[in-house]
């Protein structure tokens, strides 16, 4: 029986890439907290994850010879604009407290995915060594 690394890691590499993208988006929001007219953006995470689990991301095959790719989450990432709680007079919609909280949460999620991945690698190593 062959060990498939893709199957062993599941959707975690995709998740990691998505968390990485999101952290750069949130960093942009925090960086532009004082820029007039800047609109805060974020990814609708639940929808993205749900899509990644479903078949919507698979490549469409229109011919018998086509190979249906699995597609990845980060491929069609579309940031949406945040609905401001307190829009400011200069048109900026960044709420720094919200962004900081989201950024920290995202970092924790990233780190926990890393921890899970490390666990999987440990399992694979144990399987390879046969201990």
Partner 1 sequence: MSLFNIFDIAGSAMSSESIRLNVTASNLANAQSVGPDEASTYHARHPVFSSVMQSLQGGDAASVGVKVDGIIESQAPLERRYQPGHPLADDEGFIYMPNVSMVDEMANMISASRSYQSNVEVLNTSKQLMLATLRLGQ
- Could you list the residues that contact partner 1 (CB under 8 A)? 16-17, 20-21, 23-28, 30-36, 38, 41, 77, 79, 96, 100, 103-104, 107, 110-111, 114, 117-118, 121
Task: State the DSSP string of 43-107.
Answer: --HHHHHHHHHSSTTSPP--STT-------GGGG---EEPPPSS--TTS----HHHHHHHHHHHH
Between residues 71 and 79, which has the closer beta carbon with respect to partner 1? 79
Nearest to 39, CA basis, from 47, 28, 50: 28
Between residues 50 and 107, which has the closer beta carbon with respect to partner 1? 107
Least distance to partner 1, CB of residue 55, Å: 25
- CA–CA distances in Å: residue 66 to residues 59, 61, 62, 69, 72: 9, 6, 7, 9, 18
> In the structure encoding, which two tokens stand for residue 38, read together?
């800047």
Between residues 36 and 68, which has the closer beta carbon with respect to partner 1? 36
Residue whose entry in the numeric block shows the structure tokens 């060990």: 3
Between residues 64 and 89, which has the closer beta carbon with respect to partner 1? 89
Least distance to partner 1, CB of residue 50, Å: 20
Least distance to partner 1, CB of residue 53, Å: 22
Least distance to partner 1, CB of residue 117, Å: 6
């Amino acid at each position: 029986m062959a060990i498939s690394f893709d199957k062993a890691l599941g959707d975690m590499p995709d998740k990691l890439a998505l968390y990485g993208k999101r952290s750069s988006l949130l960093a942009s929001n925090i960086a532009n907290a004082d820029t007039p007219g800047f609109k805060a953006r974020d990814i609708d995470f639940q929808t993205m994850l749900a899509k990644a689990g479903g078949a919507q991301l698979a490549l469409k095959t229109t011919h018998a010879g086509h190979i249906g790719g699995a597609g990845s989450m980060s491929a069609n990432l579309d940031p949406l604009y945040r609905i401001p709680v307190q829009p400011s007079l200069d048109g900026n919609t960044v709420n720094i407290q919200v962004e900081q909280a989201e950024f920290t949460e995202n970092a924790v999620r990233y780190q926990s995915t890393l921890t899970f991945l490390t666990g999987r690698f440990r399992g694979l190593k144990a399987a390879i060594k046969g201990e």
